[in-house]
Structures are given as structure tokens and as C-alpha cells.
Amino acid sequence: MNREKRPRRNRRSYLIAMVLAMSIFLVACQRSRPATTSILDSPTRSPNDEGVVTGVTNERITLDNKRFYKVSPKTESFIASSKQLTSIISTDHRYVQLGIKSGTVIWISTVGIVTRTDPPIARYTGTFLRKDADGRAVFKDGTVLSVRSGVKFPDVNKKIAVTIDPSAHEIIEFPGA
């Protein structure tokens, strides 16, 4: 009789230990999830600032030789058209858009390369989705760009290479529109 009770106690203790271990594991997993989602998950990205990167380190970024922002180790840096993650340092001399919170950059989207022409221009290629309520161009990858007054918008769902005036921070041409 004693032998029958002992295995039941062992099974019960084993089950209780397993339930406790699984509970602890699940709580630990729950706590390790990030509190916020990535900007890459957002359908659109409206920047707080944009311009040409004229200086960049892992601690700071300068736009247009005028505006300076702190960069955090948590800052997400990616290419606008592909959403591919990239190094913050690789944004130097590129046209970028920034998401900023409390003076610190939380995301950097590299929009395009700036030419060394006079005047300089930047090129961005994306699929045009729509014109938003503020007259900006919204692209399939989530990029939102201001458009110069009088510029004709392209057809919806058209992949197009746009021309950006980096000093005015706006599209100046939708070629073929």
C-alpha cells in the first residue's frame, strides 16, 4: 500500500513543479516583449524633420549644417524604400527623414542620395499610393513626402522615381506624371 501512495505523490509533485516552471517561463517571456512596436510596422511615417545629413556619429546627427539631434542606441535606422535596417553612420550625405521624441531621434529613414550638382537634388523611388489631406505624397513603403505647389501628382499605384529639392524638403517633380 505504501508503494502505491509514493508514486502518486511523486507524480503530483512533478506536475506541480512543471506547472510552476511553465508559469514562470511564460511570465518571463511576457516581460521580455518590447513595450512599443517598430516604426517599420507602421503604415505611414510622418517625419518630425528631414534634410541632408551633414554630420553623424552614434551619438548625434546634424541636418543641413543647422539642426542637431541626439541619437540613442535604440534608434532605428533603415532605407525608406526597402525598410532594410542600416547603420546610422551610412546616412552621411543622404537625404533622410527623422522621427524625434523629446529631442532624441527614434528613427532615421534614408530617403535618397543627394547629387553633387548645382542645385543639388535627391532621388527617391517608390510606389505612389495617394495624396493625403495635407497635399503630401504617400508611398506604399510608408514614406510621406511634401510636394511643391503646382506639381502634378502621378497615377495611383504607379512606381515612380521622384526628384526632391533637399533644401526645400519637397518633391519638385514626378517624372512622367
pLDDT digits (tens, 9 = 90+) for 108-141: 999 999 999 999 999 999 999 999 999 999 999 9
pLDDT interval class at 2 (50, 70, 90): low
Listed residue (98, 38, 34, 39) closest to 69, CA to CA? 98
Q: What is the mean pLDDT of residues 97-103?
A: 95
Q: pLDDT: is 6 or 153 the higher one?
A: 153
Q: Which residue has the cell 537634388?
A: 121
C-alpha cell at position 56: 553623424
Instruction: Give the Cα separation of 78 and 83 in Å (integer).
Output: 6
Q: Which residue has the cell 541632408?
A: 52
- 103-121 burial, b at 16+ Cβ within 10 Å, e below that, comes to eebbbbbbbbebeeeeeeb
Which residue type does 16 have?
I
Q: What is the mean pLDDT of residues 19-26?
A: 54
C-alpha cell at position 10: 511523486
pLDDT of residue 46: 86
